[in-house]
Every structure is written in structure tokens, then in C-alpha cells.
Amino acid sequence: MEQKIIFHIDVNSAYLSWEAVRRLKNGSDVDLRLIPSAVGGDREKRHGIILAKSPAAKSFGIYTSEPIVSALKKCPQLKLVSPDFTLYQDNSRKFMEILKRYAPVVEQYSIDEAFADMTGTTQLYGSYRKAAETIKNVIFDELGFTVNIGISTNKLLAKMASDFEKPNKIHTLFPEEISKKMWPLPVGNLFLVGESAKKRLNSLGIFTIGDLANADPNYVRQHLKKHGEVIYQYANGNGETELVCSESDNKGYSNEITLSDDVQDAETAKLVLLSLCETVCSRLRKDKKKAGCISVKITYATFQNRVHQYTLPTLTNVTGEVAAISYQLFDQMWDGNTPIRLLGISAQKILEGTLRQYNLFDLDKYEKQEKLDAAIDKIRGKYGETSITRACFMKKEK
């Protein structure tokens, strides 16, 4: 039986790259990827958080989810650009279309990452490295941005390989290369080992991935429970090989986002969900439509996808109402520990019109929320998306 070959393809600094490419095509002489820049909130109002940053911005100590006001103190010359989810989704779609030209099976892991099963394609491309070079070059020639590609026999090792030196690189990490390429790395570099797990492992005398791989698994499990079992397997290169090829549901109004750093607390996750709800609900209201079903999607750092949905008793396009439902769905799904790579919101069962079946208890509350949303839409329509910001997006800045 032929050995499995999995590619992990990761867009370099996706949000910044996509914005930079658009600006360069429109005549800009500044490449955002080469200067201290970030995708985030409003520079003038000093509101919001950092969603993505350039390598130059990272050198100033700026990190994803950091408040804008804090980032500007570190780097006053930081160039801030507002997020544009329509741009991201368009580039993501084109990115995936190219991958599907070359790979028999493609599994989208997030808006800017995918796995591709390239098993048995050497007759077409000559070698797996040549196939990776072809894919990388076609993406750059047609779309203008660069990617890293990791090559191995399973998802874990392919993803670890793609995280080696960046940008615009191809790396392999086959099982026989683990001891040389992966084991010498700090244990914090291992996929799914966050800051708290790293500190715990260090306290146990485990400082490299090799230390973890060669530790007593019972000892690791004793101190890190189920999570310890998972990362022990990862340190030894054991990961999934099968890809799930699934088409996204485009029947409703949806939005999703992947932060460059995994989300590991409910408060941050719910702020992201609220931001997504604002975008989806504003589009519904603009089109004079309402949704009868809301779904929340989570992509975990462990490569697993989960989706929960809720059918509404009454149609809605009110941001607060949709956000409250998304929080409930999120709480039902998340175990409170597993890092989250992607969050998405989808509004389905769309109907046109303004009618709503009220009940005695929600009439006054709903009308107030409708008026609030209408006022926010009007202000943003006149003065821009960042002209009015919810207080919850600002509280970390105080």
C-alpha cells in the first residue's frame, strides 16, 4: 500500500497579504507586509483589537487580540487597516479553487489553511516537492500572495512542517526526520502546546519536544490528564491521515474568521462571535431579510470541526438576539480547554420581509433592539464601519 502524502498549505500573513495585494493592484507603492502594520480597529478612535499583524509589527511585541491602544504605544507608526471579511472570503475561495485543481482531496481547515491529500500524484508531477512548487507558484502568479507548504504522511506533521521557516517556503517532516527536525525544538513549538501547558511541562523537566516524546506517557498523563495523552502522541509524530472533503453551505448569510493565535478563553471567543454577528445581521437588515435558524461553527486546533444550530421560534435579524443564541451554541460545544482555530456564524432559513411573530414578553425588548440596530446601521452607513463601537470591544483598553 502506497504511503500517504499530506500537504498543509498555509497563506503567509493572510489578512495583511490579501489587503496588501489589493492595494498594490490599485496603485499603492507600499507593501503592508514589509512595514509595521496590522489589521484591526480604528486608529483615530483607538478602539478595537489586533486581528493580524505583519512580521515587522510582531518585532515590536504586538500580538493578536491585543487592544489597539496598547499596540500603538509599542509602535506609534503602526499602519492600521480595517478588516474586510468580503475580501478575505473572496481570496479564500480562489485559494481553495487552485488547490482543487492539483489535489484529489482538499480539506479546508480554516479561511487561510487547507490540507491536501497528494497520495499517488507523482506520476502527474514527478515528485511531491515539484507538486508543492507548482502549487505555490501558481497561487503567487494568479493571486499575488505567498504560502508555506508542509509535506508529510499525516496532518500533524504536515502542519508542523509548514510552520518551519517562513514565508514562501516548502518543508518536509517525514517520520524518519522527526528526531532531527522536530525533537530539538522547544516543547512550546509543538502543535497544541499553549503557554500554560508549556510552563507545566517545563516544571516537570520537559523542555524540548524530544523530552516529551521520550518521557513516560503515564507520567505525562498524570500531570496533564487527557491533554497530556494527546500532546505525547503528537510529540511522537502520531496524527490523522484521512481528510474530510466537505463543501461549505452557501444557502444563508454567513461569516467566519481565523485569528493567527488560537482562542483559549470564552470571553475572547464571544467577542469574536459578536463581531461576526454584527456583520451577518447588518447584511440581513440591508437586504430586508430575516433568519429562522442560526448555526455556530468551531474549528479546533486539533483539526476537528463542530457545528451546532438552533431553529428560532420567530424570525430575526437583530444583532443582540443572534449573538445571545450564538453564545448558547458556543457554550454547548466548547469543552473549555481545547484551543479554537476558527469561529463562524451562519444565518439560514432566510425569508424576505419585516413581519415577526411577537409574544407578550419580547415585544418591548425586541422593538428597542430593532431601533438600536437601525441607528447603528445609519451611523455606520454615513461615517464608516468603525464610527461606532460596542463598549465590550473597548473594555480591555481601560
Domain ranges (residues) in the chain? 1-178, 183-247, 253-397
pLDDT mean across residues, the chain: 85
Backbone torsions φ then ψ of 110, nearest 5 degrees:
-160, -175
Would you state the cell numbers that stand for residue 236, as one nine-digit string?
511522537
Report which residue type is found at 141. Answer: D
- Which residue did the predictor score with more confidence, 149 or 52? 149
Q: What is the pLDDT of residue 366?
A: 52
Q: What is the pLDDT of residue 302?
A: 78
pLDDT at 375 over 80: no
Q: What is the pLDDT of residue 35?
A: 96
Q: How many angstroms separate the CA atoms of 240 and 263, rounded? A: 22
Would you state the cell numbers that stand for residue 333, as one nine-digit string?
460545544
Query: Cα–chain-centroid distance for residue 50?
Result: 13
Q: Judging by DSSP bridges, how do beta strands 79-81 and 37-39 pair with one another?
A: parallel
Phi-psi region of 27 (alpha: psi -120 to 50; beta: other; left: phi over 0): left
Count H helices and E strands in the chain, helices first.
13, 12
Beta bridge partners of residue 152, listed in sequence order: 6
pLDDT at 70 over 70: yes
Determine whether domain 183-247 maps to CATH 1.10.150.20. Answer: yes
Please, are residues 62 and 35 in contact by the beta-carbon 8 Å criterion?
Answer: no
Q: How many angstroms separate the CA atoms of 107 and 61, rounded? A: 33
> What is the sign, positive or negative, of the torsion defined by CA atoms of 97, 98, 102, 103?
negative
Domain boundaries 1-178, corresponding CATH code: 3.30.70.270
Q: What is the pLDDT of residue 386?
A: 45
The DSSP secondary-structure symbol of 180 reads I
256 an active-site residue? no
Q: What is the pLDDT of residue 393?
A: 47
Q: What is the pLDDT of residue 384?
A: 47
Helix (H, G, I), strand (E, B) or coil at 55: helix
Please, are residues 238 and 156 in contact by the beta-carbon 8 Å criterion?
Answer: yes
**By C-alpha distance, which of 140, 179, 129 is closest to 157?**
179
Residues 6+ apart with CB under 8 A from 87: 18, 19, 22
- Which residue did the predictor score with more confidence, 248 or 201? 201
Place of cell 444550530: 309
Q: What is the pLDDT of residue 242?
A: 79
Helix (H, G, I), strand (E, B) or coil at 328: helix
For the entire predicted model, the pTM comes to 0.68
Q: How many angstroms separate the CA atoms of 1 and 117, rounded? A: 15
Task: Quote the crossing angle between the two packed helices 363-383 and 266-286, to the nearest 10°.
Answer: 80
Residues 6+ apart with CB under 8 A from 208: 183, 184, 185, 186, 187
Q: What is the pLDDT of residue 63?
A: 87
CATH architecture of 253-397: 2-Layer Sandwich (3.30)
Confidence of residue 245 (pLDDT cuts 50, 70, 90): low
Q: How many angstroms separate the CA atoms of 333 and 343, rounded? A: 12
Q: What is the pLDDT of residue 387?
A: 42
Q: What is the pLDDT of residue 41?
A: 65
pLDDT digits (tens, 9 = 90+) for 294-321: 999 998 887 788 899 998 878 888 888 8
Confidence of residue 326 (pLDDT cuts 50, 70, 90): very high
Q: What is the pLDDT of residue 248?
A: 46
- Active-site position among 19, 66, 113, 321: 113
pLDDT digits (tens, 9 = 90+) for 150-171: 999 999 999 999 999 989 999 9
**By C-alpha distance, which of 309, 299, 199 is closest to 258?**
299
CA atoms within 13 A on the CB side of 143: 26
Place of cell 467566519: 256
Q: How many angstroms separate the CA atoms of 63 and 55, rounded? A: 10
Q: What is the pLDDT of residue 231?
A: 94
Q: What is the pLDDT of residue 1?
A: 62
Helix (H, G, I), strand (E, B) or coil at 2: coil
Please, are residues 197 and 227 in contact by the beta-carbon 8 Å criterion?
Answer: yes
The DSSP secondary-structure symbol of 187 reads G
Mean pLDDT along residues 117-134 = 91
Residues 6+ apart with CB under 8 A from 10: 112, 113, 147, 148, 149, 150, 159, 162, 163
Q: How many angstroms separate the CA atoms of 44 and 51, rounded? A: 17
Percent of the chain with pLDDT over 70: 83
pLDDT digits (tens, 9 = 90+) for 253-275: 888 876 656 788 888 888 889 88
